[in-house]
């Protein structure tokens, strides 16, 4: 089942179209920092690529923590890029292990730091290139309610024409309250704010944002 079918089956009161779902996917991907290498990159399962600058020498295994998750462990490929002047040599790394702490330990094959002196003063530059598959084939069940509401908002935005919808003169929907009913207004405002924060936190479970660039209040 793909995400469109998943939302159609779950969101009983919402008209779910593939166009609206695609717009939602790109909106959420941007808000949760999935668009790292490509403006069209999303949280859907796909090929990922990371390039990390390395030191010129190493005596211990290098520890790599994937940026994208969830990931498929079986798809990981590691390459060592060695740049000398304008020449680049890329070799595949096969000596690595994925440990129970959720990290990859990689023997890079770099020169030992005990004997890395370069009389020319121009040591090679090294980069670790990592390729793997990561992302979501389906949405986690626990966040489906939030996604249904996002789809409903997008659907209304795409379909509603203010000449046809019950809008006020300023183009905004007007809600009528009984005269002097400040309690209902206050409750709806406060509950709405609480639900908004909870939905942001639910969707934030997909987030890859770091603390400095977090948009939706969920930090990994």
How many CA atoms, within 13 angstroms, populate the side-chain half-sphere of residue 131?
A: 6
Tell me: do 128 and 146 sit in the same domain.
no
- Structure-token pair, residue 135: 């992302």
Q: How far apart are CA 35 and CA 216, in angstroms?
A: 15
pLDDT of residue 93: 96
pLDDT of residue 121: 62
Tell me: do 129 and 91 sit in the same domain.
yes
Residue 199's pLDDT band, with cuts at 50, 70 and 90, is low
A 10 A CB-CB count for 91 gives: 11
pTM of the predicted structure, to 2 decimals: 0.75
A 10 A CB-CB count for 83 gives: 13
pLDDT of residue 188: 54
What average pLDDT does the segment 151-162 reach? 71
Q: How far apart are CA 199 and CA 178, in angstroms?
A: 29
Tell me: do 155 and 82 sit in the same domain.
no
Per-residue pLDDT tens digits for 32-89? 889 887 888 999 999 999 999 998 888 889 999 999 999 999 999 999 999 988 899 9
Tell me: do 115 and 54 sit in the same domain.
yes
pLDDT of residue 220: 36
Do you find a cis peptide bond into 70, omega within 30 degrees of 0? yes
Tell me: do 114 and 149 sit in the same domain.
no
Residue 177 has pLDDT above 70, yes or no: no
What average pLDDT does the segment 106-116 reach? 82
Alpha-helical segments (H) within the chain: 3-10, 18-31, 144-159, 182-203
A 10 A CB-CB count for 110 gives: 18
23: nearest Cα among 147, 143, 203 = 147
Tell me: do 81 and 104 sit in the same domain.
yes
Classify residue 218: in a domain, yes or no: no
Tell me: do 106 and 117 sit in the same domain.
yes
Number of domains in the chain: 2
Tell me: do 24 and 92 sit in the same domain.
no
Q: Which of 99, 134, 169 corresponds to the end of one domain?
A: 134
Tell me: do 65 and 108 sit in the same domain.
yes
Tell me the pLDDT of the chain averaged across its residues. 80
Domain that holds residue 169: 3-43+139-213
Q: Which of 92, 110, 134 corresponds to the end of one domain?
A: 134
Residue 115 has pLDDT above 80, yes or no: no
Q: How far apart are CA 23 and CA 142, in angstroms?
A: 21
Q: Which of 104, 134, 164 corresponds to the end of one domain?
A: 134
Residue 99's pLDDT band, with cuts at 50, 70 and 90, is very high
């Amino acid at each position: 089942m793909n995400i469109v079918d998943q939302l159609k089956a779950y969101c009983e009161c919402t008209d779910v179209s593939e166009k609206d779902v695609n717009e939602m996917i790109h909106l959420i991907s941007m808000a949760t920092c999935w668009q790292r290498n490509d403006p069209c990159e999303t949280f859907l399962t796909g090929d990922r690529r990371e390039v990390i600058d390395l030191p010129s020498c190493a005596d211990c295994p290098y520890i790599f923590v994937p940026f994208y998750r969830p990931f498929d462990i079986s798809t990981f490929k590691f390459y060592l890029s060695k740049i000398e002047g304008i020449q680049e040599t890329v070799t595949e790394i096969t000596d690595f292990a994925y440990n129970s702490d959720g990290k990859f330990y990689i023997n890079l094959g770099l020169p030992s730091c005990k004997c890395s002196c370069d009389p020319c003063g121009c040591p090679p530059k090294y980069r670790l290139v990592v390729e793997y598959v990561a992302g979501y084939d389906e949405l986690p069940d626990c966040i489906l309610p939030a996604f249904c509401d996002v789809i409903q908002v997008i659907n209304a935005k795409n379909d509603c024409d203010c000449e046809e919808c019950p809008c006020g003169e300023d183009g905004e929907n007007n809600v009528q309250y009984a005269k002097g009913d400040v309690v209902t207004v206050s409750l709806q405002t406060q509950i709405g704010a609480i639900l908004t924060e909870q939905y942001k936190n639910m969707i934030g479970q997909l987030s890859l944002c770091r603390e400095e660039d977090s948009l939706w209040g969920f930090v990994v």
